[in-house]
Amino acid sequence: MTEKRPPRGFAYRTASLRNALLTRLPDSISFGSLRARHVRQPIEITEISLASAHWPRAFDGLRIAHLSDIHFGHLLGAERLAQAVDAVRAVQADLIAITGDLVDLSAQEAPLLFEHLALLRAKLGVFVVLGNHDHLDHPRAIVRGAREAGLVPLVDDSVRVGGRDGLLIAGIDWAKSIPHCAQRLRRCGAGRADLLLAHNPKAFVGAEERGIPLTLSGHTHGGQVARRGNRRLNLVFTERLSAGHYERGESHLYVTNGVGAWFPLRVNCPPEIAVIEMRSR
């Protein structure tokens, strides 16, 4: 039996208007040149090595490919997605994390999206959490599509991989504020996880309190427009955790620029796939 689509609410209608005015209209006026220039930007691979006394020694040297903010839709289509998937596959990571905003607007894009993401494979698995854009239309369809593609969706849940004493990975659903992120983290029932996936970087506040050694997030797109040489001086300057690497005690956060966007402009914020090597100390 086909699952009934829930009615599209105010958030979807608002996002549709934004998409029409700030994405499709400028692209139309420029005869498609804005979109073409946007997708021509090369996807950078950022490699970073981090160490934490809380990271399990059995997984010392683990390589994690971090993909986020695909925003599959008008600005990022099948050809660009294929480039991103090929780039992730090329780094040969032990684990792949996808931290939300898989689609830009409509869940109707999900089947084609997951045709490409189904090509991703890693020794310990490919894990997915949802972002705010994934909740605009039909989040259950996106969760189902991820599972059918062989990915592991984590919706306020945790899973242990690599054996009984293996790596504990937690993933929380979209949450807007620090308290809401912390509330979702409590629902995971994971105690102190080794790795937390959360679309919103604000989840790091609760993760650090629990001593979680690594949190991976997206959401900000690195501000999309940043000062050259200082990626944290960007258009989301009101966010304390907006771009790159943050460290508090033995806990680390990496906020990636992501590969997609909802507005066809990036300045000093190139599309990015992060590759994190985690070390124990």
Express each pLDDT in 115-150 by its tens digit: 999 999 999 999 999 999 999 999 999 999 999 999
Overall residue count recorded for the chain in this entry: 281
For residue range 246-270, list pLDDT tens digits in order.
999 999 999 999 999 888 878 889 9
pLDDT at position 1 is 38
Out of 80-84, 135-139, 188-192, least confident range: 188-192
- Average pLDDT rounded to a whole number, residues 198-210: 96
DSSP state of 61: T
* Least trusted range by pLDDT, from 155-159, 181-185, 263-267: 263-267
pLDDT of amino acid 136 = 95
φ and ψ of 186, to 5 deg: -65, -35
Quickly state the pLDDT bin for 190 (edges 50, 70, 90): low
* Overall average pLDDT of the 218-223 stretch: 94
Report the candidate in 147, 138, 197 with the shortest Cα–Cα distance to residue 167.
197
Sheet-wide strand order for 152-153: 44-52, 272-280, 62-67, 95-99, 126-129, 152-153
Q: Which residue ranges form the domains of the chain, and what is each CATH number? A: 10-280 (3.60.21.10)
**Residues 78, 72: Cα–Cα separation, whole Å:** 8
pLDDT digits (tens, 9 = 90+) for 3-53: 567 778 888 888 888 888 888 888 888 888 878 888 888 999 999 999 999
Which pLDDT does position 235 carry in this prediction? 81
Sequence-ordered list of residues with C-beta below 8 angstroms from that of 120, at least 6 positions apart, any chain: 85, 88, 89, 96, 126, 151
> Is residue 26 helix, strand or coil?
helix
Does the pLDDT value for residue 206 go beyond 90? yes
pLDDT band (50, 70, 90) for residue 84 = very high
